[in-house]
Amino acid sequence: MAKKQIDAKTANVISAQPRLHQRAGEIQRYGTVNHLLPLELEEPVRLEMTAQLNQLLADTMTLRDLYKKSHWQVAGPTFYQLHLLYDKHYDEQVELVDSIAERIQLLGGVSIAMAADVAETTQIERPPRGREEVPVQLSRLLDAHQVIIRQARTLARRASLIGDDGTNDLVVSEVLRTNELQVWFLSEHLVNVPLIKAEEPSAAGAA
Ligand SMILES: [Fe+2]
């Protein structure tokens, strides 16, 4: 009773004391969009685009984390170059994550954010916690890129068709092009070419 009286007394008092451990209901539910935005994009368009962008976001966040895992756990003679390359790609994926998430918010939606929610949503195969060989790391990363590239092309076409040119531009100019370039840099590490001694030309090749 005494505590209640104190709470009532202090509830609206201006004070330098921080008010800790606060909780309240959500101000916007996940999977919804705001009604009133002067974007000249109808609500159904923004609903569809934010849903598809959230899938792309979950997969991009997963690829981002797969790059950091690979950066830390890489082993072998190519350790140094891959350690650096993985981190460069990680940084570029971080930029994409922010661009996609902020596109969702500006369309009036709610961006997926936390690891547990991302893990439930992503289409990318979960790797083991332990370390894997370089060819396996590279293959996992390329598979993840493939999921994102496929999705990005579909999303870009759909965005263009229903009039969301901004999403189309983001997905093509940033997401698709960055992923395509990273695929090139990774896949060249999986080509089996001699390191020290060139192959002798075969009899058939020399003829
Ligand atoms: Fe590092």
Condensed to tens digits (0 to 9), the pLDDT of residues 24-49 reads 999 999 999 998 889 999 999 999 99
How many angstroms separate the alpha carbon of residue 81 from the centre of ligand 1?
13
CATH architecture of 41-190: Up-down Bundle (1.20)
Q: What is the mean pLDDT of the chain?
A: 94
How many angstroms separate the alpha carbon of residue 181 from the centre of ligand 1?
21
Task: Give the confidence band of 155 by pLDDT, cuts at 50, 70, 90.
Answer: very high
Structure confidence by residue, pLDDT tens digits, 55-79? 999 999 999 999 999 999 999 999 9
State how far the Cα of 91 lies from the Cα of 31, in Å rounded to an integer: 28
How many angstroms separate the alpha carbon of residue 28 from the centre of ligand 1?
36
How many angstroms separate the alpha carbon of residue 38 from the centre of ligand 1?
42
How many angstroms separate the alpha carbon of residue 86 from the centre of ligand 1?
9
| pLDDT of residue 11 exceeding 70 | no
How many angstroms separate the alpha carbon of residue 103 from the centre of ligand 1?
28
How many angstroms separate the alpha carbon of residue 173 from the centre of ligand 1?
27
Whole-model pTM? Answer: 0.90
How many angstroms separate the alpha carbon of residue 88 from the centre of ligand 1?
10
| pLDDT of residue 207 exceeding 50 | no
How many angstroms separate the alpha carbon of residue 72 from the centre of ligand 1?
7
Buried b (16+ CB within 10 A) or exposed e, 1-15: eeeeeeeeeeeeeee
How many angstroms separate the alpha carbon of residue 144 from the centre of ligand 1?
21
State how far the Cα of 59 lies from the Cα of 144, in Å rounded to an integer: 8
How many angstroms separate the alpha carbon of residue 193 from the centre of ligand 1?
29
Q: Residue 85: what are its φ and ψ, rounded to 5°?
A: -65, -45
Output the six-digit token pair for 207: 């003829």
| pLDDT of residue 5 exceeding 60 | no
Give residue 202's pLDDT: 78
Measured CA to CA in angstroms, residue 90 lies from 94, 172, 188 at distances of 6, 19, 18
How many angstroms separate the alpha carbon of residue 67 from the centre of ligand 1?
11
Query: Hey, where are the domains in the chain?
Result: 41-190
- Higher-confidence residue of 199 and 83: namely 83
